[in-house]
Structure formats: C-alpha cells, structure tokens
C-alpha cells in the first residue's frame, strides 16, 4: 500500500466483518524513539490461536479450501520492512487487537498518508459502529470518540452531511495543531 | 477549534429540518469495492469523491456504500451503479475525477459513461 492509512482502512474492514460494535484506532508517534505505533482494537468475534497463526503467516495454514487473505500480511510486512514489529492478540468471542510498530526514519518506511480521510470514511460508511481515534505525537494528543458525539447528537445520525463536515474539520484542525506544534 | 457547542447547533438545525426530508423508494445505489485489492488500487479517494459529489448536489435519492471484493481485482477500483429497473453498470479503474463524471453523466443525466465500463476497458 502507498500509505499506512490505507493499511489501517483495510485492517479495520476485518474488524467490521467480525461484527465489532466499536473499533479503536491509535496512532502514536515518538520523536525520541523515531517510531510510529499503530493499533487497531475491536470487540468482534475474534480468532482462535491457530487462526491467528495462519492469518499472519499464510504459509503456515493447512487449509487449502480458502484463498489466503492479503490484508494482514501486507500490514505486517510494512512494519517489518522498517525493522519494526507486528503482533495480533485475539480471543474467540471477545475481540482482536492488531499492533504494529514502525521505525519512521527507515528508508522503507511507508508514509502515514491521509489518516483523516480514512477515519472520516469509516465513520461515514458505518454509521452504526462506534469509532475511537486516538492520535499522539510525544506528549500531545487528541481523541475523537463517536460515542461522545452521539450523546450530543441525540439521534441525529453521524452520516448527516453537516455532522460529517464537522468531523472532518475537527480531525484536520487537531492534526494541524499536533503536527504543526511540534 | 471545532467545538462541541457547534456540533450541538448542527444537531438542532438538522432536527428542525427533519420533517422536510423524505426517504425515496427510487434509490440509486452506488457500491464501491473496498476489499484489500480495491483499497490498494485507490478506492478510498474514489469513495470520498462520490460522497462529496452526492452531498454537494443534494442527491437525496442516491446512496453510496461499500462492498467487498467484486472479483475483478486487476480492474480495481471498481464501482457498481444499481438503479431500479435498470441493468447494473460496473465501472472499472475508477479515479476521483472519473467518479465525478459518472455522477454527472450517469446518475444525474442518465447517460452511462460507456468508456469507463468493464465492457470497454476489458476489451
Ligand atoms: N479483527 C478480526 N477479527 C476476526 N477475524 C479476523 C480479524 N482480522 C482478520 N481476521 C480473519 O483473518 C482472515 C484474513 O484476514 P486478511 O485481512 O488478511 O484477509 P481477508 O480479509 O480474508 O481478505 P483481503 O485480502 O480482502 O483482506 C479474515 O478472513 C478473517 O477470517
Ligand atoms: Mg482483510
């Protein structure tokens, strides 16, 4: 993928397919560590230990009936190419966490890209799912939590154009403050 | 900075306008393939452009939604237009610019953009 925010969009599709009512996306950047940590957490149906292994390493699987997916291996590869790490934590019936660490100054680092468009499109296309987006750079951070927005909106759907415009501006303003303020 | 007070004002305005809204049975559906292959090929900006254009033109009878792999990965990004009483149209190798033209020519004016359809591109 050209942008890590596209990998994130893709990995979140798995959480949506797994029936998760709430999905958390975290992007934490550290200047001293020269790293970017990306986490996607869901409360979907989860996977067995064996499933997790077969998903991260498509060659491990003994299954021949189903074609292997590309989404997880691509994200894992993007992290490992930078000398970073990749990990999936999953439990059947309770949910899945995907965690990838990137060394952002490595020559093979993929840029984060338009993370705000990823978050906005996820909210827009999945109005019944709650999303928590956490972004930080060193000590500074901001959070968008659709559960808080719903409390204010009292039944007005998140995919209402004016609400989506507010969300997009909220993301862009906070992004600018975070990155510009560094 | 965007404030929650502003969001509250949007809520009140929207609730006041709710009576004017009507749900149309004659919905035209635009489906965007958002599996790994579609996302890698550029489905996200296409989706964003479709949503923006539909809202800008106030097309209340048009819905944009996402779907999985349509099965023609080499032609991604792929979108399908499903209109009542019409044959489904599959557009391939769509870009944000092409998406805007598809809305204008096909959705608004009823003319299928033949050159972007799978039939022309796959020849
Ligand atoms: N968050 C999740 N919760 C439950 N199951 C998951 C999750 N993420 C991945 N899986 C399982 O792992 C499989 C492989 O995921 P992966 O994204 O690599 O491929 P895919 O979604 O099947 O296909 P694609 O190549 O289009 O992404 C999924 O089909 C699903 O069964
Ligand atoms: Mg997937």
Q: Where does the pLDDT of residue B20 fall: very low under 50, low under 70, confident under 90, or very high at 90 and above?
A: low
Query: Buried (b) or exposed (e) across B45-67, using 16+ Cβ within 10 A?
Result: bbbbbbbbbbbeeebeebebebe
Considering only CB atoms, A169 lies closest to which of B2, B4, B48, namely B2
- Position B24 scores a pLDDT of 57
Q: What is the ipTM of this complex?
A: 0.91
Beta strands A130-137 and A140-145, pairing class: antiparallel
Distance B62 CA to ligand 2 centre (A): 27
What pLDDT band is residue B115 in, cutting at 50, 70 and 90?
very high
Ligand 2 mean position to B37 CA, how many Å?
Answer: 9
- Check if A7 has its Cβ closer than 6 Å to any atom of ligand 1: no
pLDDT by residue for chain A (182 residues), tens only, comes to 999 999 999 999 999 999 999 999 999 999 999 999 999 999 999 999 988 988 887 665 544 545 667 899 999 999 999 999 999 999 999 999 999 999 999 999 999 999 999 999 999 999 999 999 999 999 999 999 999 999 999 999 999 999 999 999 999 999 999 987 64
- Measure A77 CA to nearest chain B CA, in Å: 14
pLDDT, one tens digit per residue, over B35-81 is 999 999 999 999 999 999 999 999 989 999 998 877 788 899 999 99
Residue A96, token pair as written in the block: 């899945």
Break chain B into its structural domains and give their ranges.
25-121
How far is the CA of A24 from the CAs of A9, A15, B28, B122, in angstroms? 12, 10, 32, 40
Q: Write out the residues surrounding ion ligand 2, Cβ under 5 A.
A: A 14, 71
Please, what is the average pLDDT of chain B? 90
Of A66 and B122, the structure prediction assigns the larger pLDDT to B122
A69–B36 C-beta distance less than 8 A = yes
* pLDDT value for B22: 58
- CATH architecture type of domain B25-121: 3-Layer(aba) Sandwich (3.40)
Task: Flag if B2 and A153 touch (Cβ within 8 Å).
Answer: no
Element (H, E) at A22: strand A22-30
> What is the distance between the alpha carbons of residues A156 and B114, in angstroms, rounded to a whole number?
39
Measured in Å, how far apart are chain B's first and last C-alpha atoms?
Answer: 51
Number of other CB atoms surrounding residue B9 within 10 Å? 13
Across the interface, whether the CB atoms of B36 and A149 are under 8 A apart is answered: no
Reported as a pLDDT band with limits 50, 70 and 90, residue B17 is confident
């Amino acid at each position: 993928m050209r942008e890590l925010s596209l990998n994130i969009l893709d990995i979140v599709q798995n959480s949506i397919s797994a029936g998760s009512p709430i999905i958390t996306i975290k992007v934490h950047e550290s200047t001293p560590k020269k790293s970017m940590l990306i986490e996607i957490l869901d409360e979907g149906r989860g996977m067995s230990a064996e499933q997790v292994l077969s998903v991260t390493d498509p060659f491990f699987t003994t299954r021949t009936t189903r074609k292997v997916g590309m989404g997880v291996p691509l994200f894992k590869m993007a992290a490992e190419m930078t000398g970073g790490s990749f990990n999936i934590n999953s439990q059947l019936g309770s949910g899945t966490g995907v965690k990838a660490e990137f060394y952002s100054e490595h020559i093979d680092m993929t840029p984060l890209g338009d993370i705000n468009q990823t978050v906005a499109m996820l909210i827009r296309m999945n109005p019944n799912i709650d999303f928590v987006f956490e972004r930080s750079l060193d000590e500074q951070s901001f959070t968008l939590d659709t559960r808080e927005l719903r409390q204010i909106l009292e039944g007005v759907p998140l995919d209402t154009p004016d609400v989506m415009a507010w969300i997009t501006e909220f993301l862009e303003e906070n992004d600018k403050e975070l990155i510009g303020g560094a | 900075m965007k404030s929650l007070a502003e969001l509250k004002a949007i809520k009140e305005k929207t609730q006041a306008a709710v009576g004017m809204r009507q749900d149309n049975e004659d919905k035209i559906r635009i489906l965007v393939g958002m599996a790994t292959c579609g996302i890698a090929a550029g489905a996200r900006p296409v989706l964003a452009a479709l949503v923006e254009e539909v809202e800008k033109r106030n097309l209340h009878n048009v819905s944009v939604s996402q779907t999985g792999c349509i099965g023609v990965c080499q032609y991604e990004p792929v979108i399908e237009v499903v209109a009542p009483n019409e044959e489904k149209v599959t557009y391939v190798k769509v870009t944000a610019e092409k998406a805007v033209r598809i809305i204008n020519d096909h959705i608004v004016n009823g003319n299928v953009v033949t050159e972007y359809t799978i039939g022309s591109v796959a020849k």
